Structure 1
Amino acid sequence: MSKILSNKSNLQILYEDNHIIIINKRSGDIVQGDKTGDAPLSDIVKAYIKDKYNKPGNVYLGVVHRLDRPTTGIVLFAKTSKALTRLNKMLVDKNINKTYWAIVKNKPEKEKNTLIHWLKKNPKNNKSSAFIKEKSDGKKAILHYELTKKLDNYYLLEVNLETGRHHQIRSQLASIGCPIKGDLKYGFDRSNKDGSISLHARQIDFIHPVSKEEINVTAPLPNDPIWNVCN
Protein backbone atom coordinates (compact mmCIF):
# COMPACT_ATOMS: atom_id res chain seq x y z
CA MET A 1 0.00 0.00 0.00
CA SER A 2 2.87 2.40 0.73
CA LYS A 3 4.11 1.91 -2.86
CA ILE A 4 0.64 2.83 -4.14
CA LEU A 5 0.55 5.96 -1.99
CA SER A 6 3.99 7.06 -3.15
CA ASN A 7 3.03 6.53 -6.80
CA LYS A 8 -0.26 8.37 -6.32
CA SER A 9 1.61 11.66 -5.97
CA ASN A 10 3.24 11.03 -9.35
CA LEU A 11 -0.03 10.61 -11.25
CA GLN A 12 -0.33 12.89 -14.27
CA ILE A 13 -4.06 13.42 -14.74
CA LEU A 14 -4.99 14.78 -18.16
CA TYR A 15 -8.77 14.84 -17.74
CA GLU A 16 -11.26 13.95 -15.03
CA ASP A 17 -14.98 14.26 -14.41
CA ASN A 18 -17.64 12.20 -12.57
CA HIS A 19 -17.55 9.37 -15.10
CA ILE A 20 -14.06 9.12 -16.61
CA ILE A 21 -10.43 9.79 -15.81
CA ILE A 22 -7.53 9.95 -18.31
CA ILE A 23 -3.96 9.39 -17.15
CA ASN A 24 -0.59 9.98 -18.84
CA LYS A 25 1.08 6.65 -18.05
CA ARG A 26 4.79 6.49 -17.31
CA SER A 27 7.04 3.78 -18.69
CA GLY A 28 7.25 0.88 -16.27
CA ASP A 29 3.73 1.27 -14.91
CA ILE A 30 1.40 -1.68 -15.52
CA VAL A 31 -2.24 -0.88 -16.18
CA GLN A 32 -3.64 -3.98 -14.45
CA GLY A 33 -2.11 -6.39 -11.95
CA ASP A 34 0.05 -9.22 -13.28
CA LYS A 35 2.29 -12.00 -12.00
CA THR A 36 5.01 -9.48 -10.97
CA GLY A 37 2.86 -8.33 -8.07
CA ASP A 38 3.79 -4.69 -8.75
CA ALA A 39 1.20 -2.04 -7.90
CA PRO A 40 -0.91 -1.53 -11.05
CA LEU A 41 -1.95 1.88 -12.32
CA SER A 42 -5.60 0.94 -11.74
CA ASP A 43 -4.94 0.56 -7.99
CA ILE A 44 -2.96 3.81 -7.88
CA VAL A 45 -5.86 5.68 -9.54
CA LYS A 46 -8.32 4.06 -7.12
CA ALA A 47 -6.21 5.27 -4.18
CA TYR A 48 -6.16 8.78 -5.67
CA ILE A 49 -9.97 8.82 -6.07
CA LYS A 50 -10.54 7.42 -2.57
CA ASP A 51 -8.28 10.08 -1.07
CA LYS A 52 -9.46 13.05 -3.15
CA TYR A 53 -13.17 12.44 -2.66
CA ASN A 54 -12.91 10.85 0.80
CA LYS A 55 -14.78 7.77 -0.40
CA PRO A 56 -15.56 4.99 2.08
CA GLY A 57 -15.22 1.34 1.09
CA ASN A 58 -14.10 0.09 -2.30
CA VAL A 59 -13.68 2.51 -5.20
CA TYR A 60 -15.10 1.53 -8.59
CA LEU A 61 -12.73 1.82 -11.55
CA GLY A 62 -13.17 0.19 -14.94
CA VAL A 63 -10.20 -0.49 -17.22
CA VAL A 64 -11.23 0.51 -20.76
CA HIS A 65 -7.99 -0.42 -22.53
CA ARG A 66 -4.36 -1.23 -21.76
CA LEU A 67 -0.89 -0.05 -22.73
CA ASP A 68 2.20 -2.25 -22.69
CA ARG A 69 4.40 -1.76 -19.64
CA PRO A 70 7.33 -0.03 -21.47
CA THR A 71 4.94 2.26 -23.41
CA THR A 72 3.93 5.75 -22.28
CA GLY A 73 0.88 7.92 -22.78
CA ILE A 74 -2.88 7.98 -22.56
CA VAL A 75 -4.85 5.45 -20.54
CA LEU A 76 -8.61 5.90 -20.17
CA PHE A 77 -10.47 4.60 -17.11
CA ALA A 78 -14.19 4.61 -16.26
CA LYS A 79 -15.26 5.82 -12.83
CA THR A 80 -18.81 4.45 -13.18
CA SER A 81 -20.23 1.18 -14.52
CA LYS A 82 -22.48 3.15 -16.87
CA ALA A 83 -19.45 4.83 -18.45
CA LEU A 84 -17.54 1.53 -18.71
CA THR A 85 -20.39 -0.27 -20.50
CA ARG A 86 -20.76 2.57 -23.01
CA LEU A 87 -17.02 3.00 -23.55
CA ASN A 88 -16.58 -0.74 -24.14
CA LYS A 89 -19.27 -0.59 -26.84
CA MET A 90 -17.64 2.51 -28.35
CA LEU A 91 -14.33 0.62 -28.57
CA VAL A 92 -16.00 -2.30 -30.36
CA ASP A 93 -17.78 0.12 -32.72
CA LYS A 94 -14.48 1.97 -33.37
CA ASN A 95 -15.82 5.25 -31.99
CA ILE A 96 -12.74 5.96 -29.87
CA ASN A 97 -9.83 7.30 -31.91
CA LYS A 98 -6.33 6.80 -30.48
CA THR A 99 -3.20 8.26 -32.06
CA TYR A 100 0.28 7.00 -31.23
CA TRP A 101 3.75 8.38 -31.89
CA ALA A 102 6.56 5.91 -32.52
CA ILE A 103 10.28 6.58 -32.96
CA VAL A 104 11.66 3.91 -35.27
CA LYS A 105 15.08 2.80 -36.45
CA ASN A 106 14.63 2.87 -40.22
CA LYS A 107 12.73 4.95 -42.72
CA PRO A 108 9.70 3.01 -43.97
CA GLU A 109 9.59 2.27 -47.68
CA LYS A 110 6.40 4.33 -48.00
CA GLU A 111 6.03 7.57 -46.06
CA LYS A 112 2.31 6.92 -45.60
CA ASN A 113 0.69 3.50 -45.66
CA THR A 114 -1.87 1.06 -44.26
CA LEU A 115 -0.50 -2.19 -42.82
CA ILE A 116 -2.65 -5.33 -42.76
CA HIS A 117 -1.33 -8.44 -41.03
CA TRP A 118 -2.54 -11.50 -39.18
CA LEU A 119 -1.01 -11.57 -35.70
CA LYS A 120 -0.34 -14.76 -33.83
CA LYS A 121 0.51 -14.49 -30.13
CA ASN A 122 3.02 -16.81 -28.48
CA PRO A 123 2.17 -16.89 -24.75
CA LYS A 124 5.53 -18.50 -23.89
CA ASN A 125 7.58 -15.44 -24.87
CA ASN A 126 4.70 -12.92 -24.76
CA LYS A 127 5.33 -11.92 -28.36
CA SER A 128 3.18 -11.53 -31.47
CA SER A 129 4.32 -12.55 -34.96
CA ALA A 130 2.92 -10.69 -37.97
CA PHE A 131 1.99 -12.56 -41.15
CA ILE A 132 1.03 -11.07 -44.51
CA LYS A 133 -1.10 -14.05 -45.45
CA GLU A 134 -4.21 -14.93 -43.50
CA LYS A 135 -3.71 -17.38 -40.65
CA SER A 136 -6.65 -19.39 -39.36
CA ASP A 137 -5.40 -18.99 -35.78
CA GLY A 138 -4.27 -15.40 -36.26
CA LYS A 139 -6.13 -12.14 -35.62
CA LYS A 140 -6.44 -9.53 -38.35
CA ALA A 141 -4.55 -6.33 -37.50
CA ILE A 142 -4.88 -3.02 -39.34
CA LEU A 143 -2.99 0.22 -38.71
CA HIS A 144 -2.29 3.41 -40.63
CA TYR A 145 1.01 5.25 -40.28
CA GLU A 146 2.57 8.44 -41.61
CA LEU A 147 6.17 9.60 -41.42
CA THR A 148 6.01 13.02 -39.74
CA LYS A 149 9.62 13.89 -38.89
CA LYS A 150 13.21 12.90 -39.67
CA LEU A 151 15.32 12.90 -36.51
CA ASP A 152 19.13 12.68 -36.37
CA ASN A 153 19.28 8.89 -36.41
CA TYR A 154 15.62 7.92 -36.29
CA TYR A 155 12.19 8.58 -37.78
CA LEU A 156 8.99 9.71 -36.09
CA LEU A 157 5.81 7.97 -37.22
CA GLU A 158 2.23 8.87 -36.36
CA VAL A 159 0.14 5.72 -36.04
CA ASN A 160 -3.63 5.20 -35.94
CA LEU A 161 -5.08 1.82 -35.09
CA GLU A 162 -8.15 0.23 -36.64
CA THR A 163 -7.82 -2.85 -34.46
CA GLY A 164 -6.40 -3.37 -30.99
CA ARG A 165 -4.26 -6.49 -30.93
CA HIS A 166 -1.52 -7.75 -28.63
CA HIS A 167 1.69 -5.76 -29.34
CA GLN A 168 0.11 -4.68 -32.61
CA ILE A 169 2.11 -1.52 -33.35
CA ARG A 170 5.35 -3.10 -32.17
CA SER A 171 5.01 -6.26 -34.26
CA GLN A 172 3.58 -4.64 -37.39
CA LEU A 173 6.23 -1.90 -37.58
CA ALA A 174 8.99 -4.44 -36.90
CA SER A 175 7.66 -6.59 -39.75
CA ILE A 176 8.34 -3.77 -42.25
CA GLY A 177 11.88 -3.24 -40.93
CA CYS A 178 11.02 -0.36 -38.58
CA PRO A 179 11.48 -1.64 -35.01
CA ILE A 180 10.65 0.89 -32.31
CA LYS A 181 13.61 2.45 -30.50
CA GLY A 182 14.47 0.45 -27.37
CA ASP A 183 12.23 -2.49 -28.26
CA LEU A 184 14.61 -5.45 -27.93
CA LYS A 185 11.72 -7.93 -28.16
CA TYR A 186 10.93 -6.80 -31.70
CA GLY A 187 14.39 -6.37 -33.12
CA PHE A 188 15.87 -3.08 -31.93
CA ASP A 189 19.56 -3.55 -31.14
CA ARG A 190 19.73 -1.95 -27.68
CA SER A 191 17.42 -0.94 -24.87
CA ASN A 192 16.59 2.57 -23.75
CA LYS A 193 18.32 3.53 -20.49
CA ASP A 194 15.06 3.72 -18.56
CA GLY A 195 13.73 0.43 -19.94
CA SER A 196 11.06 2.18 -21.99
CA ILE A 197 10.33 1.78 -25.67
CA SER A 198 9.81 4.92 -27.76
CA LEU A 199 6.08 4.41 -28.29
CA HIS A 200 3.70 7.01 -26.86
CA ALA A 201 -0.10 7.03 -26.84
CA ARG A 202 -0.30 10.68 -27.87
CA GLN A 203 -3.96 11.56 -28.36
CA ILE A 204 -7.49 10.29 -27.77
CA ASP A 205 -10.73 11.63 -29.28
CA PHE A 206 -14.26 10.47 -28.54
CA ILE A 207 -17.75 11.58 -27.59
CA HIS A 208 -18.24 11.48 -23.83
CA PRO A 209 -20.30 8.36 -22.97
CA VAL A 210 -22.63 10.27 -20.63
CA SER A 211 -22.50 14.04 -21.32
CA LYS A 212 -22.09 13.55 -25.11
CA GLU A 213 -19.48 16.32 -25.21
CA GLU A 214 -16.53 15.98 -27.56
CA ILE A 215 -13.40 14.93 -25.66
CA ASN A 216 -9.97 15.62 -27.21
CA VAL A 217 -6.97 14.94 -24.98
CA THR A 218 -3.25 15.08 -25.85
CA ALA A 219 -0.58 13.54 -23.60
CA PRO A 220 2.67 15.50 -23.14
CA LEU A 221 5.71 13.61 -24.40
CA PRO A 222 8.17 11.98 -21.98
CA ASN A 223 10.91 14.30 -20.73
CA ASP A 224 13.69 12.73 -22.76
CA PRO A 225 16.17 14.27 -25.25
CA ILE A 226 14.88 12.23 -28.19
CA TRP A 227 11.26 13.09 -27.47
CA ASN A 228 12.07 16.74 -26.82
CA VAL A 229 12.92 17.28 -30.50
CA CYS A 230 9.62 15.76 -31.61
CA ASN A 231 7.36 18.56 -30.39
Structure 2
Amino acid sequence: MSKKIISNKNNLQVLHEDNHIIVINKRAGDIVQGDKTGDKPLSDIVKDYIKHKYDKPGNVYLGVVHRLDRPTTGLVLFAKTSKALPRLNKLFAEKKAKKTYWALVKEQPPKTTDTLTHWLIKNPRNNKSTAYSEDISGSKKAILHYKLIKKLDNFYLLEIDLETGRHHQIRCQLSKIGCPIKGDLKYGFDRSNKDASISLHARTLKFMHPVKKEHISITAPLPKDTLWQACED
Protein backbone atom coordinates (compact mmCIF):
# COMPACT_ATOMS: atom_id res chain seq x y z
CA MET A 1 0.00 0.00 0.00
CA SER A 2 1.44 3.39 -0.93
CA LYS A 3 0.25 6.84 -1.79
CA LYS A 4 0.91 9.20 -4.63
CA ILE A 5 3.90 11.47 -4.23
CA ILE A 6 3.00 14.99 -3.18
CA SER A 7 5.36 17.96 -3.42
CA ASN A 8 4.96 21.31 -1.73
CA LYS A 9 6.70 24.68 -1.80
CA ASN A 10 9.62 23.28 0.24
CA ASN A 11 10.13 20.60 -2.43
CA LEU A 12 8.96 18.08 0.15
CA GLN A 13 8.19 14.65 -1.28
CA VAL A 14 5.41 13.02 0.73
CA LEU A 15 5.25 9.32 -0.12
CA HIS A 16 2.50 8.35 2.31
CA GLU A 17 0.29 10.26 4.71
CA ASP A 18 -2.71 9.48 6.88
CA ASN A 19 -4.01 10.66 10.26
CA HIS A 20 -1.21 8.96 12.21
CA ILE A 21 1.92 8.76 10.06
CA ILE A 22 3.76 10.58 7.30
CA VAL A 23 6.62 9.24 5.16
CA ILE A 24 9.04 11.60 3.38
CA ASN A 25 11.59 10.99 0.63
CA LYS A 26 14.52 12.84 2.18
CA ARG A 27 16.85 14.85 -0.02
CA ALA A 28 20.62 14.84 0.40
CA GLY A 29 21.66 17.62 2.76
CA ASP A 30 18.49 17.60 4.84
CA ILE A 31 18.95 16.83 8.53
CA VAL A 32 16.19 14.85 10.19
CA GLN A 33 16.52 16.58 13.56
CA GLY A 34 18.14 19.85 14.61
CA ASP A 35 21.87 19.83 15.37
CA LYS A 36 24.70 22.23 16.16
CA THR A 37 24.65 23.62 12.60
CA GLY A 38 21.40 25.43 13.35
CA ASP A 39 20.03 24.47 9.93
CA LYS A 40 16.29 23.93 9.74
CA PRO A 41 15.65 20.20 10.18
CA LEU A 42 13.32 18.07 8.10
CA SER A 43 11.11 17.56 11.16
CA ASP A 44 10.38 21.30 11.26
CA ILE A 45 9.76 21.43 7.51
CA VAL A 46 7.23 18.60 7.87
CA LYS A 47 5.56 20.41 10.77
CA ASP A 48 5.23 23.51 8.57
CA TYR A 49 3.73 21.38 5.81
CA ILE A 50 1.13 19.87 8.17
CA LYS A 51 0.30 23.22 9.75
CA HIS A 52 -0.25 24.84 6.36
CA LYS A 53 -2.11 21.92 4.76
CA TYR A 54 -4.60 21.50 7.59
CA ASP A 55 -4.61 25.11 8.79
CA LYS A 56 -3.68 23.98 12.28
CA PRO A 57 -3.48 26.57 15.08
CA GLY A 58 -0.71 26.34 17.68
CA ASN A 59 2.04 23.76 17.76
CA VAL A 60 2.02 20.70 15.49
CA TYR A 61 2.86 17.31 16.98
CA LEU A 62 5.49 15.27 15.14
CA GLY A 63 7.47 12.33 16.47
CA VAL A 64 10.80 11.27 14.97
CA VAL A 65 10.84 7.48 14.61
CA HIS A 66 14.25 6.94 12.96
CA ARG A 67 16.98 8.96 11.25
CA LEU A 68 19.12 9.05 8.14
CA ASP A 69 22.59 10.55 7.84
CA ARG A 70 22.61 14.03 6.35
CA PRO A 71 24.25 13.11 3.00
CA THR A 72 21.94 10.12 2.39
CA THR A 73 18.56 10.10 0.67
CA GLY A 74 15.36 8.12 0.97
CA LEU A 75 12.56 7.13 3.29
CA VAL A 76 12.02 8.79 6.65
CA LEU A 77 8.97 7.92 8.76
CA PHE A 78 7.41 10.35 11.25
CA ALA A 79 4.51 9.90 13.69
CA LYS A 80 1.76 12.51 13.51
CA THR A 81 0.11 11.46 16.79
CA SER A 82 1.24 10.59 20.29
CA LYS A 83 -0.70 7.34 19.91
CA ALA A 84 1.36 6.24 16.91
CA LEU A 85 4.85 7.18 18.14
CA PRO A 86 5.36 4.62 20.96
CA ARG A 87 3.86 1.88 18.79
CA LEU A 88 6.23 2.70 15.93
CA ASN A 89 9.17 2.89 18.34
CA LYS A 90 8.25 -0.58 19.57
CA LEU A 91 8.05 -1.91 15.99
CA PHE A 92 11.52 -0.63 15.22
CA ALA A 93 12.97 -1.79 18.54
CA GLU A 94 11.60 -5.29 17.92
CA LYS A 95 12.90 -5.23 14.34
CA LYS A 96 9.41 -5.66 12.90
CA ALA A 97 9.90 -2.78 10.46
CA LYS A 98 11.91 -3.87 7.41
CA LYS A 99 14.15 -1.24 5.82
CA THR A 100 16.07 -1.91 2.60
CA TYR A 101 18.84 0.34 1.30
CA TRP A 102 20.52 0.73 -2.08
CA ALA A 103 24.17 1.74 -2.33
CA LEU A 104 26.47 2.47 -5.27
CA VAL A 105 30.08 1.34 -4.92
CA LYS A 106 32.98 1.51 -7.37
CA GLU A 107 34.71 -1.72 -6.37
CA GLN A 108 33.13 -5.11 -6.93
CA PRO A 109 32.36 -6.75 -3.57
CA PRO A 110 34.15 -10.03 -2.76
CA LYS A 111 30.90 -12.00 -3.09
CA THR A 112 27.65 -11.38 -4.95
CA THR A 113 25.75 -11.94 -1.70
CA ASP A 114 27.06 -12.04 1.85
CA THR A 115 26.46 -11.32 5.52
CA LEU A 116 28.93 -8.91 7.11
CA THR A 117 29.63 -9.08 10.83
CA HIS A 118 31.88 -6.50 12.49
CA TRP A 119 32.30 -4.74 15.80
CA LEU A 120 32.00 -0.95 15.56
CA ILE A 121 33.37 1.79 17.78
CA LYS A 122 32.12 5.35 17.33
CA ASN A 123 34.49 8.27 17.75
CA PRO A 124 32.33 11.29 18.67
CA ARG A 125 35.20 13.73 18.01
CA ASN A 126 35.20 13.11 14.27
CA ASN A 127 31.71 11.56 14.07
CA LYS A 128 33.09 8.39 12.53
CA SER A 129 32.88 4.69 13.29
CA THR A 130 35.64 2.13 12.91
CA ALA A 131 34.94 -1.54 12.15
CA TYR A 132 36.88 -4.41 13.71
CA SER A 133 36.85 -8.09 12.83
CA GLU A 134 36.53 -9.18 16.46
CA ASP A 135 34.87 -8.00 19.64
CA ILE A 136 36.98 -5.39 21.42
CA SER A 137 36.31 -3.29 24.49
CA GLY A 138 33.62 -0.66 23.91
CA SER A 139 32.52 -2.05 20.54
CA LYS A 140 29.01 -2.89 19.34
CA LYS A 141 28.22 -5.84 17.10
CA ALA A 142 27.02 -4.86 13.61
CA ILE A 143 25.42 -7.24 11.11
CA LEU A 144 24.14 -6.52 7.61
CA HIS A 145 23.21 -8.58 4.57
CA TYR A 146 23.98 -7.41 1.04
CA LYS A 147 23.50 -8.64 -2.49
CA LEU A 148 24.74 -7.35 -5.82
CA ILE A 149 21.66 -6.49 -7.88
CA LYS A 150 23.10 -4.60 -10.86
CA LYS A 151 26.40 -3.94 -12.63
CA LEU A 152 26.79 -0.53 -14.27
CA ASP A 153 29.66 0.67 -16.45
CA ASN A 154 31.82 1.82 -13.55
CA PHE A 155 29.80 1.05 -10.43
CA TYR A 156 27.97 -1.75 -8.67
CA LEU A 157 24.50 -1.47 -7.12
CA LEU A 158 24.09 -3.26 -3.79
CA GLU A 159 20.87 -3.95 -1.91
CA ILE A 160 21.35 -3.97 1.85
CA ASP A 161 19.27 -5.23 4.76
CA LEU A 162 20.32 -4.23 8.26
CA GLU A 163 20.10 -6.68 11.14
CA THR A 164 21.43 -4.09 13.60
CA GLY A 165 21.27 -0.30 13.57
CA ARG A 166 24.68 1.15 14.43
CA HIS A 167 26.21 4.56 13.79
CA HIS A 168 27.20 4.84 10.09
CA GLN A 169 26.89 1.06 9.92
CA ILE A 170 26.43 0.57 6.17
CA ARG A 171 29.06 3.15 5.30
CA CYS A 172 31.57 1.71 7.74
CA GLN A 173 31.05 -1.97 6.98
CA LEU A 174 31.15 -1.57 3.20
CA SER A 175 34.34 0.46 3.53
CA LYS A 176 35.83 -2.30 5.67
CA ILE A 177 35.47 -4.81 2.81
CA GLY A 178 37.01 -2.37 0.31
CA CYS A 179 33.74 -1.02 -1.12
CA PRO A 180 33.26 2.56 0.12
CA ILE A 181 30.06 4.19 -1.06
CA LYS A 182 30.33 6.63 -3.98
CA GLY A 183 30.96 10.17 -2.68
CA ASP A 184 31.69 9.07 0.90
CA LEU A 185 35.03 10.77 1.59
CA LYS A 186 34.75 10.03 5.32
CA TYR A 187 34.87 6.30 4.64
CA GLY A 188 37.45 6.16 1.89
CA PHE A 189 35.88 7.08 -1.45
CA ASP A 190 38.34 9.12 -3.51
CA ARG A 191 36.12 12.07 -4.44
CA SER A 192 32.91 13.72 -3.37
CA ASN A 193 29.63 13.88 -5.26
CA LYS A 194 28.87 17.29 -6.76
CA ASP A 195 25.95 17.87 -4.39
CA ALA A 196 27.91 16.63 -1.32
CA SER A 197 25.63 13.58 -1.11
CA ILE A 198 26.74 9.99 -0.77
CA SER A 199 25.14 7.36 -2.99
CA LEU A 200 23.20 5.61 -0.24
CA HIS A 201 19.41 5.56 -0.50
CA ALA A 202 16.80 4.23 1.94
CA ARG A 203 14.81 2.48 -0.79
CA THR A 204 11.94 0.56 0.81
CA LEU A 205 10.11 0.39 4.12
CA LYS A 206 7.63 -2.30 5.17
CA PHE A 207 5.77 -2.31 8.46
CA MET A 208 2.41 -2.80 10.14
CA HIS A 209 0.44 0.42 10.53
CA PRO A 210 0.51 1.29 14.25
CA VAL A 211 -3.21 2.06 14.44
CA LYS A 212 -4.97 0.61 11.41
CA LYS A 213 -3.02 -2.68 11.58
CA GLU A 214 -2.64 -2.70 7.81
CA HIS A 215 0.55 -3.79 6.04
CA ILE A 216 2.35 -0.76 4.60
CA SER A 217 4.98 -1.07 1.87
CA ILE A 218 6.58 2.07 0.45
CA THR A 219 9.33 2.58 -2.13
CA ALA A 220 11.22 5.86 -2.42
CA PRO A 221 12.02 7.09 -5.96
CA LEU A 222 15.73 7.42 -6.63
CA PRO A 223 17.51 10.80 -6.83
CA LYS A 224 17.26 12.41 -10.24
CA ASP A 225 20.82 12.07 -11.43
CA THR A 226 22.08 10.02 -14.37
CA LEU A 227 23.75 7.25 -12.39
CA TRP A 228 20.87 6.62 -10.04
CA GLN A 229 18.39 6.71 -12.92
CA ALA A 230 20.45 4.02 -14.69
CA CYS A 231 19.76 1.82 -11.66
CA GLU A 232 16.03 2.27 -12.13
CA ASP A 233 16.05 1.24 -15.80
Normalised by the size of structure 1, how large is the TM-score?
Answer: 0.96
1:139 alignment partner in structure 2: 140
**Aligned-pair CA distance for 1:81:** 1.2
Per the alignment, in what secondary structure is the counterpart of residue 174 of structure 2? helix
SS of 1:98 mapped into structure 2: strand
**What corresponds to 1:4 in structure 2?**
none
The Cα of 1:105 is off from its aligned counterpart by 1.5
- 2:34 maps to which residue? 33
Aligned length in residues:
225
The offset of 1:135, in angstroms, is: 2.0
Post-superposition Cα deviations, 1:52-86, rounded to whole Å, max 9, x if no partner, equal: 11111110000000000000000000001111100
Q: Secondary structure at the match of 2:231?
A: coil
Aligned AA (2:224):
N
Give the secondary structure class of the aligned counterpart of 1:185: helix
Residue 8 (structure 1) shift: 4.9
**Match of 1:206?**
207
Cross-structure match for 1:100: 101
CA distance in 1: counterparts of 2:13 and 2:176, whole angstroms: 33
1:29 Cα shift?
A: 0.3
Contact 1:105 1:178 (8 Å CA) reproduced: yes
Determine if the alignment matches structure 1 residue 109 to structure 2 residue 110: yes
Q: Which runs of 5+ in 1 are unaligned?
A: 1-6
Q: Work out whether 1:129 is the aligned partner of 2:130.
A: yes
Cα distance in 2 between the residues matched to 1:222 and 1:228: 7
Deviations 1:97-131 (A, max 9, x none): 00000001211111100111111000111000011
Letter in 2 for 1:149: K
CA distance in structure 1 between the partners assigned to 2:118 and 2:222 by the alignment = 29
User: Within 5 Å, which residues of 2 pair with 1:187-198?
Assistant: 187-198=188-199
Q: Distance in 1 between matches of 2:26 and 2:10?
A: 13
Whole-angstrom distance in 2 between the partners of 1:52 and 1:161: 35
Q: Which amino acid aligns with 2:182?
A: K
Structure 2 match to 1:65: 66
Q: 1:190: Cα distance to partner?
A: 0.2
Q: State the Cα deviation string for residues 25-57 of structure 1 (Å, max 9, x = none).
A: 000000000000000000000000011111111
Check the 8 A contact 1:21/1:79 in 2, yes or no: yes
Q: SS where residue 223 of structure 1 aligns? A: coil
2:134 matched to 1:118? Answer: no
In 2, Cα distance between the equivalents of 1:204 and 1:108? 25
Structure-1 residue corresponding to 2:4: none
Question: 1:8·1:47 contact (CA, 8 Å) conserved in 2?
Answer: no
Q: CA deviation at 1:136?
A: 2.7
- 1:176-187 map, 5 Å: 176-187=177-188
Question: What fraction of aligned residue pairs are identical, expressed as a percent?
Answer: 74
The residue identity in structure 2 corresponding to 1:119 is L
The match for 2:48 is 47
**What is the alpha-carbon distance in structure 2 between the residues aligned to residue 196 and residue 127 of structure 1?**
16
| Separation of aligned partners in 1, 2:105 and 2:31 | 23
- Superimposed CA distance per residue, residues 151-189 of structure 1 (whole angstroms, 9 cap, x where no aligned partner): 111100000011111100000000000000000000000
1:223 corresponding residue in structure 2: 224
SS of 2:67 mapped into structure 1: coil
* 1:148 equivalent in alignment to 2:149: yes
Indicate if the aligned counterparts of 2:118 and 2:141 stay in contact, CA closer than 8 A.
Answer: yes
Unaligned regions of 5+ residues in structure 2, if any? 1-7
After the TM superposition, which segments of 4 or more aligned residues of structure 1 sit over 2 Å from their partners?
none
